[in-house]
Copies of this chain bind each other. A is one copy, B any other.
Amino acid sequence: MLHRKILLPEDQMPTQWLNLIPYLKKPPAPYLDPMTGQPVSPEQMGVIFPRALLEQEMSTEPWIDIPEPVLDFLSLWRPSPLMRAYNLEKALGTPAKIYYKNESLSPAGSHKPNTAVAQAYYNKMEGVTRMTTETGAGQWGSALALACNHFGLECMIYMVRVSYEQKPYRKSMMHVWGAEVVPSPSPRTQAGRAILEKDPDCPGSLGIAISEAVEDAALREDTKYGLGSVLNHVLLHQTVIGLEAKKQFEMIGGYPDIVIGCVGGGSNFAGTAFPFCVDKSHGRDVRIIAVEPTACPTMTKGQLTYDFGDTAKMTPLIRMHTLGHDFIPPSIHAGGLRYHGVAPLISCAIEEGLIEAQAVGQTAVFEAGIQFARSEGSVPAPEAAHAIRAVIDEALKAKEEGKEKTIFFNYCGHGHFDMASYDRYFAGGLEDYEYPAEKVAESLAHLPKVGG
Contacts and interface: CB of A to CB of B under 8 A. Distances in A.
Interface stretch (A45-53, A251-259, A327-335, A375-383): A375-383
A263 interface: no
Kindly report how many copies of this chain are found in the complex they form together: 2
Interface in A140-165: 146, 149-150
A190 to B, nearest CB: 29
Contact of A417 (B9, B109, B150, B416): B416
A25 B11 CA distance: 46
A173 B379 contact: yes
B5 A1 contact: no
Contacts of A42: none
B370 A107 contact: no
Nearest to A369: B176
B2 A423 contact: no
Contact-residue bracket for chain A: 35 or more
A75 B176 contact: no
Nearest to A424: B172
Contacts of A61: none
Contacts of A416: 109, 169, 416-417
A178 interface: yes
A177 B373 contact: yes
A420 B172 contact: yes
B2 A374 contact: no
Nearest to A147: B377
Contacts of A169: 416, 419-420
B177 A422 contact: no
Contacts of A420: 168-169, 172
B10 A72 contact: no
A105 interface: yes
A128 B10 CA distance: 44
